[in-house]
Amino acid sequence: MKSELIPKNVFVEKSVVASPLVENIRKRCPDCNIEIIGSHGIRNYELNGPVIEVVDFKGRFLKPCPGTKNYICCGYKILHFGEQCSIGCTYCILQAYFPSTSLRLFANWNRMLKEVESELTGNPGRFYRIGTGEFTDSLLLDPITAFSTLIVPFFARFPNCVLELKTKTDHVDLLENLDHAGRTIVAWSMNSETVIAREEGFAVSLERRLECAKKCMQWGYRLAFHFDPMIYYDGWEKDYKKVVDLIFDSVDSKKIVWISLGCFRFMPALKSIVEEKYPQCNIIYGEFIKGLDGKMRYFKHIRMMMYEKMVKWISGYDPEVCIYLCMESPEVWKESFGFTPSEKGGLPGMLDNAARSKCGD
């Protein structure tokens, strides 16, 4: 665990001071400085670097992935348990989403679980893919929150869903002895060693991610890998081929539920943020064009070339592994795979089938 990832200053709303989350932080991080704050004053402080805010969340916990207009979405559901990240990846979209660097955690876990249970039991014929890694890293603060020890056994009770925990950390220790019933997928964001070293801040190394993936596989968990964002640079082909080789050398491909691919894209507003925070970063100056969703994307021929090669390398190891593109057009799918998701029953159906076939006892 990298100490930089877990801030020592914790601000807690008075209404949730007796919550299990705060109790866990007190017990698991005794050197954390916990300060109780009124609900409307929680951000009235001046501190250098990120802090943790523990709040009583008023919104919905379970929500659809925001997706991207005009591109194919996977139909994922987000379990919104917290916001922001302290890993410090130069390309991180959360920098544009959230003006504050604070790591915000939602303490009203009981209401969260009731909301999810109501959704799952109320729709027994529907299959759900639910993840916690959209607005933060799923395991970033797990060493002090122990959130995984609550959520993993909870999802083990429901046969009509899978939970995906996506991370760039090695915070997997608490997963070892949990009753997961095969319903939890532990996933890593993957990149080349060049990109990890230059762009991924305090994220753990590629080697360490794969060591942790192997551990989780040995504990009975299913795995996933997400190459998103893929960065185009001189030497990318050799570097990304090496990552694919290492994945299949490290874990049993039959335990991989899916692998996603997505080229670097960003909202125009992110460019000035990156220029200010990371002046050494040059990935925002590539060959980009504004896409149908308003985001800057690599030219289509670059994306299709990168996807085509990745699909070839991955399928060469195991043609049964489910590979999919994150937020791409039918045309790019057709060129990269030889088919579009609509020809296979739609992308949500493809991923549901992958989860059903590989997850469970």
Question: Architecture of domain 60-82+109-358 in CATH?
Answer: Alpha-Beta Horseshoe (3.80)
| Per-residue model confidence (pLDDT) at position 293 | 87
Beta bridge partners, 72, equal 328
**Domain map of the chain by residue range?**
60-82+109-358
Looking at residue 172, its amino acid is V
Residue 43 has pLDDT above 60, yes or no: no
Q: DSSP for 212-267?
A: HHHHHHHTT-EEEEEEEEE---TTHHHHHHHHHHHHHHHS-GGGEEEEEEEE-EE-
**% of the chain exceeding 70 in pLDDT:** 95
| Per-residue model confidence (pLDDT) at position 121 | 97
| Per-residue model confidence (pLDDT) at position 39 | 64
Q: Which position has the higher pLDDT, 196 or 37?
A: 196
Question: Which of 97, 76, 73 lies closest to 85 in space, CA to CA?
Answer: 97
* 73 pLDDT tier (thresholds 50, 70, 90): confident
| Per-residue model confidence (pLDDT) at position 47 | 55
* 218 pLDDT tier (thresholds 50, 70, 90): very high
Residue 74 has pLDDT above 90, yes or no: no
Give the number of C-alpha atoms closer than 13 A to the C-alpha of residue 203, restricted to the C-beta side.
Answer: 29
* Total residue count of the chain as it appears in this document: 361
For the stretch 313-339, what's the b/e string if a residue is b when 16 or more beta carbons lie within 10 angstroms of its beta carbon? Answer: bbeeeeeebbbbbbbbbeebbebbbee
| Per-residue model confidence (pLDDT) at position 69 | 63
| Per-residue model confidence (pLDDT) at position 2 | 61
The per-residue pLDDT for range 326-341, each reduced to its tens digit, is 989 999 999 999 999 9
| Per-residue model confidence (pLDDT) at position 37 | 87
**CB 111 within 8 Å of CB 61:** yes
* 5 pLDDT tier (thresholds 50, 70, 90): confident
Question: What tokens were used for 154?
Answer: 């909870």
Q: Read off the pTM.
A: 0.95
Residue 361 has pLDDT above 70, yes or no: no
Q: What is the β-pairing status of strands 77-79 and 62-64?
A: antiparallel
**% of the chain exceeding 90 in pLDDT:** 86
| Per-residue model confidence (pLDDT) at position 41 | 52
| Per-residue model confidence (pLDDT) at position 64 | 86
Cα separation of 156 and 163, whole Å? 9
**CB 60 within 8 Å of CB 80:** yes
| Per-residue model confidence (pLDDT) at position 185 | 98
Cα separation of 99 and 108, whole Å? 23
The four Cα atoms 114, 119, 125, 128 give a dihedral, to 10 degrees, of -100
* 148 pLDDT tier (thresholds 50, 70, 90): very high
The per-residue pLDDT for range 265-311, each reduced to its tens digit, is 999 999 999 999 999 999 999 889 999 889 999 999 999 999 999 99
Question: Which of 196, 164, 199, 203 lies closest to 180 in space, CA to CA?
Answer: 164
For the four alpha carbons of 15, 19, 25 and 26, in that order, the dihedral sign comes to: positive
Whole-number Cα distances in Å, 38 to 58, 108, 142, 334? 15, 16, 25, 54
* 76 pLDDT tier (thresholds 50, 70, 90): confident
Residue 190 has pLDDT above 90, yes or no: yes
Looking at residue 151, its amino acid is I
